Structure formats: structure tokens, C-alpha cells
Structure 1
Amino acid sequence: MRIVCNSKNSEAACAIFYRDALSNLKELTVCDYDHYNGYDIALFMTYRNDLEDMKAAKLDYPHLKTGIIDARASWVEEFLPYADFLILDSIEMKDFWASARKPIFFYLEYPNIANAKKKHEAKQPIIIGYHGNKVHLHTMYETVTPALEELAQTYPVELWVMYNIEKLGQWEWNVPKGLKVRHIQWREEHFHQELAHVDIGISPNCVPILNEKKLKKKAESRKLREHFVYSDDDYFLRFKMPSNAGRITIWGKLGIPVVADLTPAACQCIQDGENGLLAYSQEGWYRALETLILRADLRQRYAENMKQTIAHKYDFTIQNQKFLEFLKSEIIT
């Protein structure tokens, strides 16, 4: 079996992560647009120019089995007739694209950094760390941010945040008050150089819902109230379709325990109280972070257990072997 992976957006983070993840497949060639007749499988990233290339390749070489990597938006639907399968990285995405009626392979990509050993001890200050898109720092303003501010009144804590400052500018809106906040430019080498010093990692991923109580009432059906058993205590969550657990795995590889928002992707990766903690409300975040601030032994245990989870489920060699089995059993028949 011969596979080609093509993208004209080779510097995009997602393209880099998938290319690195798939690179140990001996069957794989990267960026060959001239010899589709010599391949069985062609993979394309979810950028419009890449999917236009997929469409052209499928029309010219009908035998070619084509796959879309990381279908992150509904506009991809127009290209589905030219795709034979999808590669997605979260349960949210799998559910969203179930309507495509295409074979789906789950593949969790993340920056390909080396594992690090870390010994957790009682210390001050406790450094809480974040890495990812700046937008998630904004969206945590009703949950993580006030929890951090309250914790800082009792415990010596710092917040280190790594994101693309050069491109997006420095985070200034609703930055937590009462504690030191250190801003770090996102670079892959900074995972080990900077974030390896963090004691607790956080992965906020929910989207705030304004006027939640009012929206709950508006979403209720008066006619069906007796059948649905509505309650003011019901949870009302919003999260992005292309959510994934990639940011969680980085903390595991660095040997750092993680607290994550209560999203499906996080729940798929974290077993609460075994290899990390899950939270949603301000109080939930306060409780989870306080637990890890006070318990170095739990920080050590959760970090080591998460590292094992990654090794057994999300290691690229393991995922690549499963990917080949998927192609042989469901795509090339």
C-alpha cells in the first residue's frame, strides 16, 4: 500500500502535527502532486486549496482512495462527494460528521515532543500553566479566572501562559488579578525550556454561555415539560466541534498533572481522579486546583498515569498501526 499526504499549508500547526505524527509510516510520501496513479491512498488537510486539490485528484484518478484530515468546519460538506473517509481527532468531531456516512478514523495529533521526567514535591509558589490558543484564555473568564483569583488569596500561585503573542498580541482582557502572570511566546522548544517548570497544567475548552439561566428557560418546551423533567440544576454546556485532547497530552508527556474543562474530548482522555481532574464551574475549578496545590503525591500519580494513558492509547506508533489496519479493512477492499 502506498500513501501520499499533500498540503500546500505545510507551515500551519495542524499540518505540522499530523505530518510529524504520520512520518514513521514507511508507506507514506509527503507532498507528491504528480504521481497519483502510483498511490492507493491520498490524504489532504482541511484547507480549501487542499480540498480543491483532493477534488481534482479524485476526478482524474477515480481509483484513488481519498481522506480528509481534521474536517474542522461545515463548509467541508461540499467536498465530501470526493472523499472516501475522514480522519478526526475528537468524539465531538466524530459525532458531527456522522451525517457524512463515511468511514471515520480517530487519530489524536499533538506536538511531537519528548517525554520528560518530573518529581513533584511540596513547594512555593505553585506554577499553574496553560498552552494553546489565546481565545481559551478569554473564554475562561467566568470559571478558571475567578477560581485562580480566589486561590491566590490563600496560596502562593503563579500563572504561566504560552500562546502566539507575536501573531495575536498579549492577553489583556480579564487577566487574573492578585497573582503573577507570565506570558510566553508559543514555540515548540518552549515546552521543555519553559513549561517543564509548571506544577499543574490547565486545559480550558468550554465556550461561555451568557445569561445561562434565561437561555435555559427559553430552550424549554412548555408542552413537553412533564416528559423531559427540566430542572434549574441542569447543565448547559457549549464547546467547539473541533475540540480535541491534544493540549492535555502535552502535559502528560511533560510529567505534569492536568485539570481540564468538562468536554467530551477531555472526558475521552481523562479518567477523573485517576490520570487528571475534570471541572466546569468556578467552584469545580477551585476544588480541583486546590487539591493538586495541596497534594504533591496526587500531582505525581496523575502525571504518571496520564503518561501511561498516552503511551498505550495515543503513541504515534500505535495509532499508525491502527490506521494501517483501518485502511486495509475498511478502505482498500
Structure 2
Amino acid sequence: MNKSLKQSPVVPAGFGPGALAMAIANPGALGTIEAYIGAVNRLPVLTADQETSLARRYQETEDLGAARELVLSHLRLVVAIARQYLGYGLPHADLIQEGNVGLMKAVKRFDPERGVRLVSFAIHWVKAEIHEYILKNWKLVKVATTKAQRKLFFNLRSMKKDSRSLTPDQVTEIATALNVRPQDVTDMEVRLSGQDMALEGRGTDDGETDFAPIAYLSDEGQHEPTQVLEGRRRDELHGVGLHSALDALDDRSRRIIEARWLKDEGGLTLQELASEFGVSAERIRQIEARAMVKMRGALAEYA
């Protein structure tokens, strides 16, 4: 909807300049959520004729004053709907704020000629905005990404008779009622029962910090992306790359390299290998040097 509709609503008598206008965009602007609720509950309710007249005026002339009056007269509806979703642990003011957005969308699309009151038409839009807000903010990991999951998300809690886990019969009953699979009901119950946990601890009065997952999840080693990539490349070089380079050598050269450089505890000397192969130490050094050059060529693709 036009931004001016959201930012410049009519201010009823008895409120300071702009106070309720700010509250529509931010329900906490009046000081407390209770003050906001008290304010909107004192706003007059439109009659059917007044509502139709204002809706026609807005539809025909885009008179924002008419739209504002329609919005203000239905703010109490948003408060009532938002109260139904307090069980998700999200701030009441935020729920109301999102519901207000839905109300304004409803006013923009409302057709007074269909013979339906705005309150009935707006319920869908208000709930849709609140649902979207809850799904985006209730969990870091999204719990409802399909239409069936959304239906489960917003109905499962009310359909459970108590806080205990569902029995197989209850799972089947709910699945039938909502036209979803029993497995979907079981999965959603598990996901809803999980609790969010702060990654970082909060400070305490004595200056200490609560123990939190960040203490044991953090990696004290590599954090910067290029360091991580370098580490992976190094691991690949030491693993697959080294074996590939050794496979490229003849048996004698491989024996010399492994004996000189790949022993866990100290490699053999040139003289020891010279005795093993019956050649001079200088000859062993030459074979070793050529093998190193050949291995560097084989490792080039991993470097």
C-alpha cells in the first residue's frame, strides 16, 4: 500500500500529535503495549453505511483520509487476532505490527460492493501477515516450508489435548482431520517440542558470562574463508596427491623416497641406502633428486 497510508493515519482527539500514527507502525510507541491497546479500543467503530461510504471514496478517488479511517477503526481486530499467537514466544507488539500491515493490505483490496463487511475480509490478510512473521522468526531453522507443514504448524498445538506426546491413535486422528500423513504429524510434534538456545551467553551481574554453545562450537583454528580453502588444499596434497606422486615412481625411487622422508621415526641415510642397493651414496642422492623432480610435476595439479 502507499507508504503515506501507513505513516500518516488520522489522530483521534485525546492523543498527542502523531502519537497514534507512530503507534500503527510501532505499537510500542505509546510507551507500553497496554497503552496502545487501550488507545485503539477507544477508537469509534464504523457503522456499515460509514464503512461502505469510506471504502467507495477510497476506491474511487484514492482518498487516503478515508483509508486511514478504515484502518484505525479496525485496529482492535488486529489486537484480538495477535493475542491468539502469543504462545509462540514472540513480542505482542511485533505481532500487532505485522497484523497492521495485513489490515492495510486488506483495506487496499476491499470491495464494498460485494456485501461483505471489512472485518470479515480483513481477518485473512491479518492472519496471513502474522503467520509469515512467525514462520520467519520463531525458529532459526524453518519448521514449516510447505502448505501441509504450515497447516500443521498452526493447528497442532490447539489440537493436542495436553502437553504429553501424542499417542498413535491421536496422530492418526489429527492426520485425518488435517488431511496430512501421520508421519508429518509426528515430525512436526518433534520439531515444535524443541527449544531455541542462544548461541552466545548473556552477561551476569557479577561480570561473568553464562555458559553457551559458542564455548564448545567455536573453532579456534581457521575462520577466514581463504584459510579454510588452503587447509583443504593442503589436506588433499598430503593425501591423494602424495599417493599419486609416489605411484608415478619406479620401485627403487619410491623405496628411496619412502625410506628417506616418509618414515615415522627418522629416515635412512644415503649411506644406508647405498649399502642396501649396492651403489654409491652419490648415486642414491642422484636418484633421490630425480624422484623429487618427478613428484613435484605430479603434484602440480594439486598445488
TM-score by length of 1: 0.20
Higher relative contact order (CA 8 A, sep 6+): 1
TM-score by length of 2: 0.22
Higher-Rg member (1/2): 2
Which protein is richer in strand relative to its size?
Answer: 1
